[in-house]
């Protein structure tokens, strides 16, 4: 099969994880790296819990060094717990690991699956995220305006800081949802291109196929998984 006359075909049993779309990959990677930075809070959380337990039960102390009470440390623990949990919601969108019930969807054709995914993002996910984002902003502004802090006199002040994670998470989910929407639209509209083994090894093919425009789908799956299934369109 020559390069100029290679066939256009859809792939049977293809997974969206097997298709690389540059613009989608850039967006998702940026979100993932941002969230992975905050994942280190889990390490700090473990250390805080260990210190709190040792001081409270091993040394029978209710105060830390310099008589700093343990209340701020305990509140900091749930702050460090809440932040990775909230940001993890956006992370799960980038790699499509949210729980799904695919009893009906799994019996649909690939084209219909893409259409259902697009409608779900536009009609369900995006409106919900926008509403939560707006409520989250009001939530943070209200806490900041009132100078909301801990109910304990020895607790942490500036409660608005941890509450700001809510609109931040919704913003990241919106961006990740746009990337997901781009992916589904591209997979719906673009035909998959099948080339022979010897063509894949040519630098000419590799440059055009793996270095194309930002919205061009790139197949990155073993050749043994490919098989023709009629024409693409």
Q: What is the pLDDT of residues 84-111, one digit of tens each?
A: 999 999 999 998 888 887 788 788 888 8
Question: What is the domain extent for residue 203?
Answer: 15-221
In a domain, 74, yes or no: yes
What are the residues whose beta carbons fall under 8 Å from the beta carbon of 100, sequence distance 6 or more? Answer: none
Question: Do 4 and 205 meet the contact criterion of CB atoms below 8 Å apart?
Answer: no
In a domain, 41, yes or no: yes
Question: Do 57 and 70 meet the contact criterion of CB atoms below 8 Å apart?
Answer: no
Low-confidence spans in the chain with pLDDT less than 70? 1-18, 59-69, 191-233
- Which pair of tokens denotes residue 151? 């109910």
In a domain, 228, yes or no: no
In a domain, 1, yes or no: no
Query: C-alpha angle 108/112/116, rounded to 5°?
Result: 105
In a domain, 108, yes or no: yes
- Which pair of tokens denotes residue 130? 């926008």
- Domain count of the chain? 1
């Amino acid at each position: 099969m020559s390069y100029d006359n290679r066939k256009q075909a859809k792939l049977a049993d293809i997974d969206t994880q097997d298709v690389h779309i540059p613009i989608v990959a850039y967006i998702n990677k940026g979100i993932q790296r941002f969230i992975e930075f905050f994942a280190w809070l889990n390490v700090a959380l473990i250390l805080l819990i260990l210190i709190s337990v040792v001081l409270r039960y091993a040394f029978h102390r209710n105060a830390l060094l310099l008589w700093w009470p343990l209340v701020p440390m305990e509140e900091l623990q749930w702050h460090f717990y809440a932040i990775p949990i909230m940001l993890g919601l956006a992370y799960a969108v980038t790699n499509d690991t949210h729980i799904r019930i695919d009893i009906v969807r799994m019996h649909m054709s690939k084209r219909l699956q893409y259409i259902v995914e697009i409608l779900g993002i536009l009609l369900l996910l995006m409106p919900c995220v926008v509403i939560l984002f707006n409520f989250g902003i009001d939530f943070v502004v209200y806490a900041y305006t009132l100078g909301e802090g801990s109910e304990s006199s020895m607790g942490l002040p500036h409660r608005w800081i941890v509450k700001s994670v809510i609109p931040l998470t919704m913003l990241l989910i919106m961006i990740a949802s746009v990337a997901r929407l781009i992916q589904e639209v591209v997979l719906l509209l673009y035909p998959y291109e099948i080339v022979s083994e010897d063509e894949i090894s040519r630098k000419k093919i590799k440059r055009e196929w793996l270095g194309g425009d930002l919205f061009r789908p790139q197949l990155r799956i073993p050749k043994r998984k490919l098989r023709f299934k009629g024409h693409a369109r």
